[in-house]
Amino acid sequence: MSAANNPRPIKTLIASIACLAIVTATLAVVGHQQSADPDIYKTYQDELARIQNNIQKLDASDPKYAYQHVQLAQLTGDFANFHKADSLLEKFPQDRELALMHAKIALNMHDVERGETYHAGLSNDFSDSRTQELALDIALQKGQYDEAIKLLKERLNPEAEWSDLARYAYLMHKFGDSKAADQLFISAQELLSAKQLKDYAWLELQRGIIDLEDGKYTDALAHFQLADKIFPGHWLIEEHLAETYGLLNQQHKAIKLYERVVKKSDNPMYFLALAKLLQTQEPELSSQLKTLAEEKFNQRYKYYPLAASGHLIDEWIEEQKSTPNAHMLHRLLELSAINLKYRPNADSQIQRIKVLILAGQTNEAKQLTETLLTTPWRTPDVLELAKTFNLNVPAQQPKFLPDTVVHAEVFAVH
- Write out the residue range of the structural domain in which residue 80 sits: 14-155
Q: Does 368 reside within a domain?
A: no
The residue with greater pLDDT, 232 or 160, is 232
The pLDDT value recorded for residue 41 is 57
The number of folded domains in the chain is: 1
Average pLDDT over residues 25-42: 48
- Does a structural domain hold residue 317? no
Please say if the pLDDT value at position 315 is more than 60: yes
The pTM score is: 0.88
Q: Is 144 a domain residue?
A: yes
Any domain includes 95: yes
Confidence of residue 216 (pLDDT cuts 50, 70, 90): very high
Inside any domain, residue 379: no
**Neighbouring residues of 414: CB distance < 8 A, sequence distance ≥ 6:** 177, 180, 398, 399, 400, 401, 403
| Residue 305 forms part of a structural domain | no
User: Rounded to an integer, what distance in angstroms lies between the CA atom of residue 17 and that of residue 315?
Assistant: 14
Instruction: Please write the tens of the pLDDT for every residue from 269-290.
Output: 999 999 999 999 999 999 999 9
Q: pLDDT grade, residue 157 (50/70/90)?
A: confident
CATH code, domain carrying 81: 1.25.40
Residue 106 lies inside a defined structural domain of this protein: yes
Which pLDDT tens digit goes with each residue over 361-399?
999 999 999 999 999 999 999 999 999 999 999 876 645
pLDDT in tens, 64-102: 999 999 999 999 999 999 999 999 999 998 999 999 999
Distance, in Å, from the CA atom of 79 to the CA atom of 72, rounded to the nearest integer, reads 11
CA 188/CA 200 separation, integer angstroms: 9
- Among 135, 140, 111, 141, which Cα is nearest to 123's? 135
Q: Can you give the pLDDT at residue 195? A: 86
Alpha carbon dihedral 38, 51, 239, 252, in 10-degree steps, equals: 110
pLDDT greater than 60 at residue 28: no
Tell me, yes or no, whether 374 lies in a domain. Answer: no
